């Protein structure tokens, strides 16, 4: 007699949107067709614990273009495909991304997936801190367990990630607005940039929206509040270009704008790591 337990039931239902909470994820953890990715960066990488079964989406490493001078820029489609397959991700999977800081770098992984043509992805609201606060199980943050290679294929979408020339054009377009997710002090130029060699200040015509302003207690604010925030800064402009220090927290703004029901969103991939370099690109302070 075979007394082995039955396999978990398939993942029920579609994603409720680009943001899921712990109540949605916890009962689905381990189900076939669900992949959880830890997209923590910097000091939050290797924080010691993970959601059980989570695999590392290394934005500081293989999921950045290591051939260029800028941090965190998108790798080629072929490289992205290779690394996603190495994580065991199939084209039919549902992916939930999170980070150990809360909602900080998880949205970068979500936006990269969107830019590579994959829509079955969502960010875990509150990230690992919310998971731990809910008393849910945690696993040792050691190396990933071996997985069967996936069949993910990147299909890049133009316009979701843009360069400095597109940003310069948006700054002169009355139908567009550039929103900068850095702190008010960095935006105004009263605080130095953390990366050596960058100029202080902001792009002329850009509007400051620190990414923390669209969160409350480490989670995204409700959609109605997000709509009010973006409306106050962008009005009825049809296109939003989102920037930050190195293309990471700009994706928090992209997530907030998506939750607010906005479309026509682009993230400046190089962000201030590129614009702030000594060059002819204009910078103002104040």
Residue with tokens 């696993």: 139
What count of Cα atoms within 13 Å lies in the side-chain half-sphere of residue 157?
15
Is 244 assigned a catalytic role?
Answer: yes
Catalytic residue among 20, 56, 244, 250: 244
Q: Which of 259, 247, 41 is nearest to 160 (CA)?
A: 247
Give dist(CA 177, CA 146) in Å, integer.
44
Give dist(CA 8, CA 142) in Å, integer.
25
Contacts of 246 (CB under 8 A, 6+ apart): 70, 71, 72, 195, 270, 271, 272, 273
Partners of 36 in the beta sheet?
Answer: 96
User: Could you give the residue numbers annotated as active site?
Assistant: 244
């Amino acid at each position: 007699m075979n007394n082995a337990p039955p396999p978990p039931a398939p993942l029920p239902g579609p994603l409720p949107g680009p943001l899921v909470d712990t109540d949605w994820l916890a009962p689905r953890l381990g189900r076939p067709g669900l992949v959880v990715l830890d997209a923590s960066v910097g000091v939050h990488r290797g924080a010691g614990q993970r959601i059980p079964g989570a695999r590392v989406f290394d934005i500081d490493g293989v999921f950045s273009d290591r051939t260029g001078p800028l941090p965190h820029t998108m790798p080629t489609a072929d490289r992205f495909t290779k690394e996603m397959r190495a994580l065991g991700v199939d084209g039919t999977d549902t992916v939930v991304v999170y980070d150990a800081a809360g909602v900080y770098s998880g949205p970068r992984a979500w936006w990269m997936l969107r830019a590579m043509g994959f829509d079955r992805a969502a960010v875990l609201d509150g990230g690992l801190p919310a998971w731990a606060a809910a008393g849910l199980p945690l696993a040792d943050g050691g190396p990933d367990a071996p997985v069967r290679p996936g069949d993910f294929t990147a299909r890049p979408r133009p316009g979701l990630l843009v360069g400095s020339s597109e940003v310069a054009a948006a700054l002169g377009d009355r139908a567009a607005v550039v929103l900068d997710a850095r702190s008010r002090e960095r935006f105004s130029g009263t605080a130095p940039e953390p990366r050596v060699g960058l100029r202080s200040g902001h792009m002329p015509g850009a509007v400051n929206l620190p990414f923390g302003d669209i969160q409350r207690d480490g989670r995204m604010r409700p959609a109605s509040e997000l709509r009010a925030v973006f409306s106050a800064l962008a009005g009825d402009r049809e296109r939003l270009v989102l920037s930050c220090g190195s293309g990471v927290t700009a994706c928090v703004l992209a997530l907030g704008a998506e939750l607010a029901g906005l479309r026509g969103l682009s993230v400046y991939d190089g962000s201030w790591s590129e614009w702030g370099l000594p060059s002819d690109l204009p910078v103002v302070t104040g």
